Amino acid sequence: MSNSKLWQVLPGKLRPFFKEEEAEFINSLKNLSGSKGYDRDDISVLFACLRCGSPINNLLNIAPGLLPGSLLGGYNKIEKSLSQIYNCWEDVLLEPILLREKKVQKNLVRLLPVIRDHANKSEFYTNINVLEREFNYMLANIKKTKLLAEELELEVLELERRGKDSINIGAKLYNPYNPGVYGSPYYLPDRLSSLTPIRVRDILGEDKATHEG
C-alpha cells in the first residue's frame, strides 16, 4: 500500500523540491523546449510537479501531451513576479519605514500576509518606535521560521540518504490540509516549490473564488 498522502498525485519524491532540485527540474524543461505561452492549467500542473517532487519525465510518461515549454513559461512568469517582490523586501530591510506605504504593503503581503496584521495599527503610521517594534518582531519570526524549515529540509535529505522513509517529515514542511512550515504566515518562500496555493493565487492576482492552486 502506498505511503503517499492524498494530495501527492504524481510519483516522485513525495515532498516539494528543494532549491537545487527545483533548479534541476527547470533545467530539464529548458533542455526540452524554450519558453512558450501558457494558461492557468499549465501553472496548476507545474505546481503539482514542484510540490510532489516529480521529475518532468515522470509527468510526460503519464501525460505525453503536456508541453514543457508551457510549464516553463508559467514558471518564468511567477519567478519574475517573485523577483520583484524580493527586491521590494530588500528595500524594506534597508528602510523599514517603507512599510508605511500602502503600495509596498500590497506588494509584500502576496508573500508575507502577516505584514497586514502588523501594519493594522494606527500608531504604526505615527510612532516610529511602534513601527520598529512590529518590524523587529516580524523579522525575528521570519528568521525563526526559516531556520525551522532548513532544519526539516536537512532532516529529510539525511533520511533519504539513508534510504529511510521521509514522507512524514516532508509533510511537516508542506501539507495543504495542515499548512506546515511553508504555510506559516512568517515563512518567506525562497523558491516556487515552497509556495502554497494561496500565495500562488495572490502572486497572480487572482480572485479568491477563482483558484486555490
Res 14: pLDDT: 84
1 pLDDT tier (thresholds 50, 70, 90): very low
DSSP letter (8 states) at residue 92: H
pLDDT band at 212 (very low <50, low <70, confident <90, very high): low
Indicate the number of domains in the chain.
1
6 within a domain of the structure (yes/no): no
Residue 22 has a CB neighbour count (10 Å cut-off) of 20
190 is a domain residue:
yes
CA distance 103 to 96: 14
* Residue 74 reports pLDDT greater than 50: yes
Q: Average pLDDT in the 28-42 region?
A: 93
Task: Answer yes or no: is 57 within a domain.
Answer: yes
pTM for the full predicted model = 0.87
Torsions phi, psi for 105 (to 5 deg) = -60, -45
44 domain residue, yes or no = yes
Q: Pick the more confident residue, 213 or 202.
A: 202
Mean pLDDT across the stretch 44-67?
Answer: 89
Q: Is residue 32 part of a domain?
A: yes
Rounded-to-integer distance, Cα 142 and Cα 184, Å: 9
Does the residue 211 lie in any domain?
A: no
pLDDT higher than 70, residue 7 = no
For residue 99, being part of any structural domain is answered with: yes
Q: At CB < 8 A and 24+ separation, what contacts does 56-59 make?
A: 56/25, 56/28, 56/29, 56/32, 57/28, 58/10, 58/11, 58/12, 59/10
120: which 3 cell numbers? 493594522
Q: What percent of the chain has pLDDT over 70?
A: 93
pLDDT of res. 117 = 92
- % of the chain beyond a pLDDT of 90: 74
| 112 in any annotated domain | yes
Residue pointed to by grid coordinates 515563512: 187
pLDDT of 53 above 50: yes
Q: What is the mean pLDDT of residues 18-44?
A: 94
pLDDT band for position 209 (cuts 50, 70, 90):
low
Mean pLDDT for the chain?
Answer: 90
pLDDT at residue 213, rounded to an integer: 58
| Confidence check: pLDDT of 208 > 70 | no
Compute the average pLDDT of residues 1-17.
69
Q: Which three cell numbers stand for residue 148?
A: 525551522
Boundaries of domain holding 98: 19-204
Higher pLDDT, 36 or 208: 36
Predicted local confidence at residue 62, as pLDDT: 84
At 95 the three-state DSSP class reads coil
